[in-house]
């Protein structure tokens, strides 16, 4: 009967990518979390990939990133994005009211928590469950049991590094820091501007990072080169420069250290009992930025804990979130809607 209202749906509203999982269909969408809005009329013109393709092509088009640092900072646009994705991927789209589970940063403020709750109900949720990203990622990788076993996840995304120590299906301790892949992109833009006098778009810097990027000073790494196109800062004309692995390493040193510091901070809050266990458990890395070559080794060297890449698709959190609905049954515990989600939280509609 509930298929009529919409199949159970999980959404990972990332700062860079929104992912959606629909029951029995799997991950149905991975779209850039972007909207294109007309400056003149205020109308939304496109969302996701088509919106990204409009960047810089029409002076009337303003691109809006509704999710920053994992929170819906532009609530109307975040709601629009969620509503349209839910409708697009449900057969009876005009009346889709699925049970919805949304991943949230473990350190989300209650203001943003409420904003997301509001957006999700406006987007058609019949019932809403929020789950902190590290828990969702751990479930997605089949790492969590309901028992005392410890799992440590560091989800390193575009805007956030979210570290959680998990036991009994909940957070023992967690730490969220506002640093991630977009900081690396900005650092590359700044270096190329400083040293080559060329202004790059954030997308070009990201491409160079993915093509030749690696973590600084960890062992010997092959030096690779990538041509990137930008605008000459003096003449205003297009210019191509070649960016090397060494350039990227120099540029991203600062933000990479901040990411490692965030992992440190996430581990620091444990009791001595749990802390001792971490040595045998290690840290599992998820999120797009975890794929940066050498990052696991740097974390291993600086924390003394084993670290490895647990998910190179980026889908672990949304798959884990979907699993929450499957296993939590119809009546998971209801908590105060304003409290931050420590365990899984089902929030009532207000």
Ligand X SMILES: Nc1ncnc2c1ncn2[C@@H]1O[C@H](COP(=O)(O)OP(=O)(O)OP(=O)(O)O)[C@@H](O)[C@H]1O
CA–CA gap between residue 107 and residue 227 (Å, rounded): 38
133 vs 345, beta carbon nearer ligand X: 133
Q: In whole angstroms, how close is the CB of 134 to Mg ion at the nearest point? A: 10
Beta carbon of residue 218, minimum distance to Mg ion (angstroms, whole number): 24
Nearer to ligand X among residue 11 and residue 274 (C-beta): 11
Query: 266 or 288, CB closer to ligand X?
Result: 288
- Please report how close the Cβ of residue 45 comes to ligand X at its closest, in angstroms: 22
**DSSP notation for 206-257:** HHHHHHH---TTSS-----EEEEEEEETTT-SEEEEEEEHHHHHHHHHHHHH
Q: Which is nearer to ligand X, 123 or 317 (CB)?
A: 317
213 binds, among Mg ion, ligand X, none (CB under 5 to 8 A by kind): ligand X
Gyration radius (Cα) of the chain, Å: 21
- Of Mg ion, ligand X, none, which one does residue 106 interact with (CB within 5 to 8 Å by kind)? none
Q: In the complex, which residues of this chain contact Mg ion (CB under 5 A)?
A: 14, 157
CB of 146 to ligand X, least distance (A): 26
Q: How many residues does the chain have?
A: 350
In angstroms, the CA 184 to CA 158 distance is: 9
By a kind-dependent CB cut-off of 5 to 8 A, residue 48 interacts, out of Mg ion, ligand X, none, with none
Where do contacts with ligand X occur on this chain (CB under 6 A)?
A: 14-17, 70, 157-160, 180-182, 206, 209-210, 213, 287-289, 291-292, 314
Cα(282)–Cα(212) distance, rounded to whole angstroms?
Answer: 27
Among Mg ion, ligand X, none, what binds residue 32 when CB lies within 5 to 8 Å by partner kind? none
Which residue is nearest to Mg ion, using beta carbons? 157
Q: How far is the CB of 104 from ligand X (least distance, A)?
A: 10
Residues 100-137, buried b or exposed e (16+ Cβ, 10 A)? bbbbbbbbbeeebbbbbbbbbbebbbebbbbbbbbbbb
Q: Least distance from C-beta 296 to ligand X, angstroms?
A: 12
State which residue, 241 or 295, has the beta carbon closest to Mg ion: 295
| Least Cβ distance, residue 162 to ligand X (angstroms) | 7
Binding at 132: pick from ligand X, Mg ion, none (beta carbon under 5-8 Å per type): none
State which residue, 71 or 307, has the beta carbon closest to Mg ion: 71
In whole angstroms, give the CA distance from residue 168 to residue 149.
7
Secondary structure of 262-280 in the HEC alphabet? Answer: HHHHHHHCCCHHHHHHHHH
What value, to the nearest 5°, has the Cα angle with vertex 52 and ends 48 and 56?
A: 155
Does an H or E element contain 72, and which? strand 71-72
Q: 266 contacts which partner out of Mg ion, ligand X, none, CB within 5 to 8 A by kind?
A: none
Task: Work out the number of other CB atoms within 10 angstroms of the CB of residue 21.
Answer: 27
């Amino acid at each position: 009967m509930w298929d009529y209202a919409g199949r159970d749906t999980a959404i990972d509203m990332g700062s860079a990518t929104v992912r959606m999982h629909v029951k029995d269909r799997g991950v149905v969408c991975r779209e850039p979390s972007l909207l294109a809005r007309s400056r003149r009329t205020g109308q939304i013109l496109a969302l996701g990939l088509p919106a990204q393709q409009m960047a810089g092509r029409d002076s009337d088009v303003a691109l809006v990133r509704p999710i920053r640092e994992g929170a819906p900072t532009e609530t109307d646009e975040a709601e629009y994005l969620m509503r349209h994705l839910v409708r697009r991927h449900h057969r009876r789209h005009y009346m889709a009211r699925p049970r919805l589970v949304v991943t949230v940063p473990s350190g989300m403020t209650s203001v943003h928590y409420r904003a997301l709750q509001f957006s999700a109900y406006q987007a058609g949720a019949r019932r809403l469950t929020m789950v902190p990203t590290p828990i969702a990622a751990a479930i997605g990788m089949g790492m969590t049991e309901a028992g005392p076993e410890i799992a440590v996840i560091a989800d390193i995304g575009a805007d956030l590094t979210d570290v959680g120590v998990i036991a009994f299906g909940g957070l023992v301790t967690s730490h969220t820091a506002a640093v991630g892949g977009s900081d690396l992109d900005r650092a590359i833009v700044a270096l190329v501007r400083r040293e080559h006098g060329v202004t790059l778009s954030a997308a070009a810097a990201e491409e160079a990072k993915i093509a030749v990027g690696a973590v600084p000073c960890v062992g010997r790494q092959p030096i690779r080169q990538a041509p990137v196109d930008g605008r000459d800062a003096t003449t205003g004309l297009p210019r191509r420069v070649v960016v090397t692995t060494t350039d990227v390493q120099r540029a991203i040193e600062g933000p990479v250290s901040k990411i490692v510091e965030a992992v440190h901070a996430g581990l620091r809050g444990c009791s001595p009992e749990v802390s001792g266990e971490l040595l045998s458990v290690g840290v599992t890395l998820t999120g797009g930025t975890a794929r940066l070559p050498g990052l696991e080794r740097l974390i291993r060297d600086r924390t003394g804990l084993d670290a490895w890449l647990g998910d190179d698709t980026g889908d672990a959190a949304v798959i884990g979130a979907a699993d929450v609905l499957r296993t939590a049954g119809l009546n998971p515990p209801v908590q105060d809607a304003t409290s931050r989600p420590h365990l899984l939280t089902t929030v009532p509609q207000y």
